[in-house]
Amino acid sequence: MRKDLQRAFALVMVCSLCSGLVPVSATASVRTHPVVPASAQSLIVTGESTADADPTSTPAPRRLEDDLSAVRFTGTWKYANQASASGNSARYSKTVYSAVSMSFDGTGVAVVGQLGPNRGRARVYLDGVSTATVSFYAPVHQSQQAVFRASGLGAGRHTLKLVVLGSKETSSTDTYVHVDAFDIDGVSARTGKVPGISVQEADSRLYRKGTWSMLRNSSAYGGGLARTGARGAAVTLRFKGTDVIWYGRKGPSNGLSEVWLDGKKVAMVSQYATATVNQRVVWAATGLKNTTHDVIIKSLGQASVPSGGTRTDLDVFRVTGSVLTALRPAPFSYPWKTYIVIDKSSFKLYWVRNKMLVKTYPIAHGKNNCTPERVWRIDAKYHTSPGSVYGPRKMRMFKRVATSGGYRYVFSAYAIHGTNQEWVIGTQASHGCIRMYNRDVLELFPQVPTGTMVVTRK
């Protein structure tokens, strides 16, 4: 009799996996759920609201929001700030093999998501075992729905993982998987250090615009956070990598901010919460191309609810990749968007692109201060012999000459080039040319288009 029940259960599971649906109820066995005792009951449901549970039968489950560091997202996910979502936030993805996982100590777990007409399917793994395929599809949007639930698990540590399949029901218009929260009969397990590199709120590589206050907060990562309530105040992070997470404080005094990624507004987020909570994900982007990215957080100085505050709080950024120094506005006032400034007194070359200071390089200039102070234009570029006096690259500066009709640019002997005498950098050493470290001129050369303006000044 027991073998017949096991075969029947296996047949139900196979049919449901093929159809994308999950069985409404089933009796677990050691064969199908090795971590569950044969006598335990495991209930798995699709589309059942967590509000349907009888509060008198078992203790209320503990809600684990998507913005906690204990919930780990891998692959490509986007962050959604939604008033209808649990905790006002959720994540969504349709990229195959993108996954979310969490661990807990307890006897039951449910995945809470948003159903809708453009939703797809995901595979559920419980303690490493492929357990079910769930569908997030519904003809109309339904928020905070339990798309999967397992109960009667053996006491102890369990791990649940949800993997995006990229498949869907016939009636669905797309394959999005929308994860909101987890309900656990137990407690969340510690997951160790959050992966990635920490960029604290006071890191000198960040660029802060407007009025920000640095506050001590023992509940924040690193013991502090940056705060502003000023409209237009912003902070910029530059990094090369694939993932970035903004952690901050949420509470009644917090309001709205915009998030810009690589020059495009990608989200409007709210840090409002009825009770103060720290170390929460405010916004995240994963699965980006492994290139250089700029993230700008702009405070709107605006409340997200009538009685809420307007603060924006930055605790820490977590980056998968390497952290770069964010671009600053050029500390000069010249009429061009892109140009080079040679500052002779400080022995510095400033590279400005789109009115932003990209980088500052050390240089050498003319003996006895013989490099003229004037305006030039890069009108020729050369690949020179690495062993020559010019190093591997040279950019010739044509001098600007006033005419009755404006200006013209004439050939000169002056250039920006490398050097094989690195010890002269920071001194007056040339016949008037601008010398750079070879590694620096190799980096700068491909960025500078012909026609770039140059200013040499005292």
Here the CATH number for the domain that contains residue 254 is 2.60.120.260
Residue 343 sits in the same domain as residue 425: yes
**341 and 262 assigned to the same domain:** no
Statement to judge: residues 46 and 169 lie in one domain: yes
Asked if 322 contacts 239 with a C-beta cutoff of 8 angstroms, the reply is yes
Length of the chain measured in residues: 458
User: Is the domain of 137 the same as that of 113?
Assistant: yes
Task: Considering the candidates 178, 293, 365, 417, report the single residue annotated as catalytic.
Answer: 417
Domain-terminating residue out of 188, 223, 253: 188
Active site includes 433? yes
Same domain assignment for residues 308 and 231:
yes
List the chain pLDDT tens, one digit each, 458 residues: 444 444 443 433 333 433 334 433 333 322 223 222 222 223 333 333 333 333 334 456 788 888 888 888 888 888 887 888 888 889 999 999 999 999 999 999 999 999 999 999 999 999 999 999 999 999 999 999 999 999 999 988 999 999 999 999 999 999 999 999 999 998 888 666 677 899 999 999 999 999 999 999 898 988 999 999 999 999 999 999 999 999 999 999 999 999 999 999 988 889 998 889 899 889 988 889 999 999 999 999 999 888 889 999 999 999 999 999 998 888 898 999 999 999 999 999 999 999 999 999 999 999 999 999 999 999 999 999 999 999 999 999 999 999 998 999 999 999 999 999 999 999 999 999 999 999 999 999 999 999 999 999 99
359 and 279 co-located in one domain: no
Q: Considering its fold, how many domains does the chain have in total?
A: 3
Pair (112, 181) in one structural domain:
yes
Catalytic residue among 158, 293, 365, 433: 433
446: CATH: 2.40.440.10
346 and 320 co-located in one domain: no
Are residues 45 and 168 part of one domain? yes
Residues 92 and 140 reside in one and the same domain: yes
- Whether 178 is catalytic: no
For 248, phi and psi rounded to 5 degrees?
-155, 180
Q: Is residue 81 domain-shared with residue 92, that is, in the same domain?
A: yes
- Do both 318 and 335 map to the same domain? no
Q: Which domain range does residue 218 map to?
A: 197-326
